[in-house]
Structure 1
Amino acid sequence: MFRSKLKTVFLSVSVTILAASLISFPQESFDASIRGLNMWWEIVFPSLLPFFIVSEMLIGFGVVKFIGVLLEPLMRPLFKVPGVGGFVWAMGMASGFPAGAKFTARLRQEGQLTQIEAERLVSFTNSSNPLFIFGAVSIGFFHNTHLGILLALAHYLGNICVGLIMRFYGNETPEEEAKKRNSSKIRSALSALHQTRLKDNRPIGKLLGDAVNSSIQTLLMVGGFIILFSVINKLLYHLHITAALAKTVELLLSSLSIPEMLSIPFISGLFEITLGSQLTSLVHESTLLQKAMITSFILAFSGFSVQAQVASILAQTDIRFKPFFLARILQGVFASLFALVLWKPIYIRFSNNEQPSNALPVGFFGEGTWTNHFYNRLIEIGPLITIFSLLLYVLLLFFRLKKN
């Protein structure tokens, strides 16, 4: 009882301080809000919307169930999750935060995952997409095309390690284990595809409308969190709370022989990955390796902003948030260690002017290539996609309310 009252007091005081800070720093809050809105408006919404809509339709048509049966022999031994986890993992890496949580929650609602399986799956299927790592962080912040390869490898290898560790999390009942063995036969894939489609007997138009409606609702929630945490991060800086927290982090960084100047970017990155990565790139007193390790941790931890988005999505199911949070810390540690271990064999190797013939062409991710061009075009046309999608959402909502 006392603990509950203490939590109530803490939340009430925190919200009161936030409200007072908004009044005290109106211009700074407005600028931070615009910054968060631009990020959502230009990049997040147009890049995630197609993935969300297509995934909803794939689930409705039974394609995900079909893929799940085929991938069962791979995903079950490695990560102790059903084969549908392979779909979530691939879509999560391709589209970025918080797609893994969105798809995991959706499959849990469909009954294709148990609670334990969903908690295992969501812990390693949320990641930054390659476009953000190479386009925004590597080229946009560090102006270093080679660094993106190191950051991406460290990030995704950290994901795999978390997945391998989380396979030991939780226990299923004997009935659930028997059900999994019976459902893992490859010859049942086509049957599962057909049965899932029959079970979801919505017409194509209804299915598409529901997919658009659900996807835009989720992205509106994501946009709200991005704007909120952009403002909170700015207010914490002006209230000198970031500097106070940085003093504690300085002790940890000093013990690791990392310059203390990286403490404020590190704290900022714990709240919002974009700002933290940008501030880290601007610290000139540290080596590039040290900045790569800090950035790897920030990308893997994903920031309280993304974690709040994930918590909001998981709250719609019985999936618990605590395993996901602990997994973020684990991945942050793994990603930093991989950045250190791979520094010489990966970054130093690709930084040489003469690359081995079997090396991955860095120009594929460099300036002037199609990936960088696509990122810049996304920023240009992103607002138009967002406006069109929101208008479509309003029309669908209007006709749905009129029909009811």
Structure 2
Amino acid sequence: MWKNYGAAFIVSLFAAALLLSPEIGLQSARYGMDIWWKTVFPSLLPFFILTELMAGLGVIAFFGSLSSRMMQVFFRLPGPAGVSWILSLASGFPSGARMAARLRTEGTITRIEAERLVAMAHSSNPLFILSAVASGFLNSPETGSFIAAAHYGGALLVGFSFRFYGRQKGKTKETSAGALHAFQAARKKDGRAFGSMFADAVLSSVQTLMLIGGFILFFSVLTALLTSYGAAGLIFSMLPVQETSLPVFQAMFSGFFELTSGVKQAAASTLSLPVSLILISAILGFSGWSVHAQVAAIISSTDIRYGPFLAARFLHSFYSVVLMLLLLSVPVRVPAYSLSLVPEHGMMVTLFFLAAASALLAFRQSKSRGKKV
């Protein structure tokens, strides 16, 4: 009961703060909306749709059968989980949690295996690291390789560490008849026509991205209100923070709630480049409560527990910092990668798919009404 009272008090407090400072809420909401519909939506949507299609067509089962042996040896995971992990590296979070929830719902993996997969298959989009962080925020494209190596290396080490997590009470059944048989069995189990499968993939992906957008907007507003009303200053005053280390704590405070804001603040501060890179690695590894809330919402419909994921994020942050320190200590020259997603192009992609999803939804509703009549 006290938890309910506490939650009600905190929510009411933030509602009052938003009413007293509507301009701060509006500006921060615009900032979050700008991130979502110009970058997050167009970069994640194609991967979400393709993942749904690959699962329905049996492609994940096919490649999962091929990679089954390797995944069992290194990570104690079945083959389909390995395919999901590889796809999550390319698409970024929270696609790994989404694919793990799907595999768990289908019964392809056990709960322990799903928790291992959620812990491991959680990394940032390469486009965000190389384009937004390295080229945009830091204005130093050559640092993109260092950040990517530390971040993805940390995710791999998390996978190795979680190999020893949990006792396997049950084990998923993997057919030994070959990859082709697994492909045919998965396609037969799904049974939908391609047109229906594609419509379901678009609608499901847009729905998930709407949920992600809501979390991004909410935590952007929350972080702005906490900073504006002096919550950050109060916390800093209680800690032995010196003036020289204040930018570090400010970036960590922002990144604790919202990843993009924390990374941007770490890059734009007066800190030296090595310190900024270490700080960015730590923030990317933890991901921020905004992303945590997205993952928790996605896995809430399954029996996957949030605790292992939280522990994995602290571990990921630690591994990424250690790897970044090692990379900075070795004088290695790396090529500069300068990728960019033009915001206007991202906005047009978002509008196009939103219109397509609306049309598909309207078509579905009219079709269902016709069947009833």
Point out where structure 1 has 5 or more consecutive residues left out of the alignment: 351-359
Q: Distance in 2 between matches of 1:83 and 1:385?
A: 33
RMSD: 1.7
Identify the residue that residue 356 of structure 1 maps to in structure 2: none
Residue 89 in structure 1 maps to residue 106 in structure 2:
no
Cα deviation 1:133-176 (Å, max 9, x = unaligned)? 11111111111122111111110111011111111111112xx3
Residue 28 in structure 1 maps to residue 24 in structure 2:
yes
User: Does the CA-based 8 Å contact 1:93-1:129 persist in structure 2?
Assistant: yes
Q: Distance in 2 between matches of 1:120 and 1:339?
A: 24
Q: CA deviation at 1:118?
A: 0.3
Q: Given residue 282 of structure 1, which amino acid in structure 2 is its aligned partner?
A: A
**TM-score normalised per structure 2:** 0.95
1:42 to 38, 45, 50: 38
Residue 68 in structure 1 maps to residue 64 in structure 2:
yes
Identify the residue that residue 152 of structure 1 maps to in structure 2: 148
Q: Given residue 301 of structure 1, which amino acid in structure 2 is its aligned partner?
A: F
Identify the residue that residue 355 of structure 1 maps to in structure 2: none
Range with greater deviation from structure 2 (138-147 or 293-302): 138-147
1:397 to 361, 369, 372: 361
Equivalent pairs, count:
368
Q: Distance in 2 between matches of 1:48 and 1:107?
A: 19
Identify the residue that residue 191 of structure 1 maps to in structure 2: 181
Identify the residue that residue 212 of structure 1 maps to in structure 2: 202
| SS of equivalent residue, structure 2 residue 164 | coil
Cα deviation 1:235-288 (Å, max 9, x = unaligned)? 01012112233445656xx8xxx823310111100111111111112221x332
Q: Given residue 143 of structure 1, which amino acid in structure 2 is its aligned partner?
A: N
User: Does the CA-based 8 Å contact 1:271-1:303 persist in structure 2?
Assistant: yes
Identify the residue that residue 349 of structure 1 maps to in structure 2: 332
Residue 290 in structure 1 maps to residue 275 in structure 2:
yes
**Aligned in 2, Cα 1:112/1:339: closer, same or farther, shift over 3 Å?**
same
Residue 231 in structure 1 maps to residue 195 in structure 2:
no
User: Does the CA-based 8 Å contact 1:249-1:263 persist in structure 2?
Assistant: no
2:321 to 336, 344, 366: 336
User: Does the CA-based 8 Å contact 2:29-2:218 persist in structure 1?
Assistant: yes
Q: Distance in 2 between matches of 1:153 and 1:248?
A: 35
| SS of equivalent residue, structure 1 residue 104 | helix
| SS of equivalent residue, structure 2 residue 295 | helix
User: Does the CA-based 8 Å contact 1:72-1:184 persist in structure 2?
Assistant: no
Cα deviation 1:215-234 (Å, max 9, x = unaligned)? 01001111111111110010
Q: Given residue 189 of structure 2, which amino acid in structure 1 is its aligned partner?
A: K
Q: CA deviation at 1:91?
A: 1.2
Q: Distance in 2 between matches of 1:79 and 1:241?
A: 41
- Give the percent of matched residue pairs that are identical in Structure 1 and Structure 2: 39
| SS of equivalent residue, structure 1 residue 349 | coil
**Aligned in 2, Cα 1:203/1:22: closer, same or farther, shift over 3 Å?**
same
| SS of equivalent residue, structure 1 residue 342 | helix
User: Does the CA-based 8 Å contact 2:266-2:280 persist in structure 1?
Assistant: yes
Residue 270 in structure 1 maps to residue 253 in structure 2:
no
Q: Given residue 157 of structure 1, which amino acid in structure 2 is its aligned partner?
A: G
Q: Distance in 2 between matches of 1:205 and 1:340?
A: 50
Q: Given residue 19 of structure 1, which amino acid in structure 2 is its aligned partner?
A: A
Q: Distance in 1 between matches of 2:301 and 2:89?
A: 23
User: Does the CA-based 8 Å contact 2:247-2:266 persist in structure 1?
Assistant: no
Identify the residue that residue 354 of structure 1 maps to in structure 2: none
Q: Given residue 388 of structure 1, which amino acid in structure 2 is its aligned partner?
A: F
User: Does the CA-based 8 Å contact 1:246-1:267 persist in structure 2?
Assistant: no
1:310 to 295, 312, 330: 295
User: Does the CA-based 8 Å contact 1:68-1:83 persist in structure 2?
Assistant: yes
Q: CA deviation at 1:291?
A: 1.6
Q: CA deviation at 1:301?
A: 0.4
